[in-house]
Chains A and B, each alone.
Chain A
Amino acid sequence: KQEVTQIPAALSVPEGENLVLNCSFTDSAIYNLQWFRQDPGKGLTSLLLIQSSQREQTSGRLNASLDKSSGRSTLYIAASQPGDSATYLCAVSFGTGANNLFFGTGTRLTVIP
């Protein structure tokens, strides 16, 4: 069964800390992996998209890595800010073609001023 897991479910850090969010998936045959951010009462905003052939993607203070062999991805947030507080979801498209996205249940991040 294809599953995506995110641990921990919640994380609190003081402002300014660097932090890592984890995502694991059960099948190494993936097409791509996306990280999303969801603010309370809002939709999902795509942060980074990593294709199967890539090892990492960077956008500003965010860096996402992909290790297919171990079935893991990490989202690194540098110099965290209170505005980073949100739920972060990992989503994986399995197989050789882009098909359904399987979402993790997310990590709720709180950055304390």
Chain B
Amino acid sequence: DAGVIQSPRHEVTEMGQEVTLRCKPISGHDYLFWYRQTMMRGLELLIYFNNNVPIDDSGMPEDRFSAKMPNASFSTLKIQPSEPRDSAVYFCASSFGGYGNTIYFGEGSWLTVV
């Protein structure tokens, strides 16, 4: 399997613009997670899905952030409007059975908002 695939790998955008990050989980996995990594706060869970249904979005920082999973092979994380403090690495991860089993991470989307 190709692993968790994220796009874009790098994005530089201006403040106020909409940003959409994309993720393709490993085929057969029923859990999908979105994490954000910064130097100051480390890795933080933003939201996770089980069988395409959002289960816990308490980590989503504010209404500017939204995530969808229209089917088992695709998810998006959208930031609108973007702000400089959103600059971070955004990771998508997937697993079969949730946190009870191994979590597989994508290589991340490096976002810079100027």
Contact = CB atoms under 8 A, between A and B. Distances in A.
Contacts of A31: 99-100
B45 A101 contact: yes
Contact of B42 (A46, A51, A93, A105): A105
Interface string B27-59: 000000000000000110100000000001000
Interface of B: 4, 42-43, 45, 56, 91, 93, 97-108
B107 A98 contact: no
The secondary structure that dominates the B interface is mixed
A69 interface: no
Interface residues of A, number: 23
Contact of A98 (B45, B91, B93, B98): B98
B98 to A, nearest CB: 5
A44 B107 CA distance: 8
Contact of B105 (A45, A98, A106): A45
B102 A44 contact: no
Contacts of A106: 42
Interface of A: 31-32, 34, 36, 41-46, 49, 51, 89, 91, 93, 98-101, 103-106
Contacts of B91: 43-44
5 contacts: A46-B102, A46-B103, A93-B99, A93-B100, A100-B99
Task: Across the A-B interface, give the 10 residue pairs with the lowest CB-CB distance, nearest first.
Answer: A98-B99, A43-B105, A98-B100, A103-B43, A44-B105, A43-B107, A93-B99, A46-B102, A105-B42, A98-B98
Greatest chain B CB density within 10 A among A32, A99, A106 is at: A99
Contacts of B100: 31-32, 51, 93, 98
B105 A100 contact: no
